[in-house]
A = this chain, B = another copy of it.
């Protein structure tokens, strides 16, 4: 089914959002694209278990990990265009959702410049994966009506995280925050958030080894060691508040065996 639909009209490149890490958080559509791929260009943050879905394809590691790309973006663009121009059915597999902090625009523009067609398959972005893992909805009726997604990676000339000047959304979610936790806590307080604002830190959301810790802004530095070296999302404000006594089940499932898709008549 995936292959048929993908071919009509023939799309050179399918950008597929792989989700936050666990292989079973990819969408069905993304999986179908993988199953009919001839070449898969993948990032460091996508689950190796996804390979089992496309054993027929050539898998090319482009090594990118969030904004810290070890392979340059220009090189990725060139690879993408080269494989697609050869007529190969290319899946560009990106961690999280491709439209959020994925530098998707640069890869699309490279394809456009080469006259190549594309589609984008959306996915589960890290903010909602963290919210689901912790059982903390990002919006709350009556008091949490706006959610802002941003990064803690860009730094100013003092090496401090660049933040917007004011707090404006009810909930702020910071992507790629792992290395900036202490500075992030300081800067948010400078921007007007009270020191005791709840801050929820989640790493490897949705995976069997996910880690969820609760802090306040003034103690955010304490999360650094706990989540060291892991893809980390920080939720601050209303969306970080607990909902009372949780009876939430333990860590969600991560499949250890691949699942196969088959058509039913």
Nearest to A14 among chain B residues (CB) is B249
Give me the interface of A with B, judged by CB distance under 8 Å: 1-2, 5-6, 9, 11, 15, 17, 19-20, 22-29, 31-32, 97-106, 108-109, 111-113, 115-125, 128-129, 131-133, 135-141, 145-151, 154, 162, 164, 166, 168-169, 206, 239, 243-250, 252-253, 255, 257-265
Contact at A243–B137, with CB atoms within 8 Å? Answer: no
Nearest to A167 among chain B residues (CB) is B168
Complex CA gap A106/B146 in Å reads 17
Contacts of A19 in B (CB 8 A): 27
Contact at B112–A246, with CB atoms within 8 Å? Answer: yes
Contact at B119–A252, with CB atoms within 8 Å? Answer: yes
Nearest to A141 among chain B residues (CB) is B103
Contacts of A106 in B (CB 8 A): 141
Contacts of A260 in B (CB 8 A): 261-264
In this complex, which of A17, A97, A116, A249 has the most chain B Cβ atoms within 10 angstroms of its Cβ? A249
Q: A168-B166, A258-B264 are in contact. Are A116 and B150 (CB under 8 A)?
A: no
Contacts of A261 in B (CB 8 A): 259-261
Q: A9-B250, A31-B28, A244-B109 are in contact. Are A128 and B100 (CB under 8 A)?
A: yes
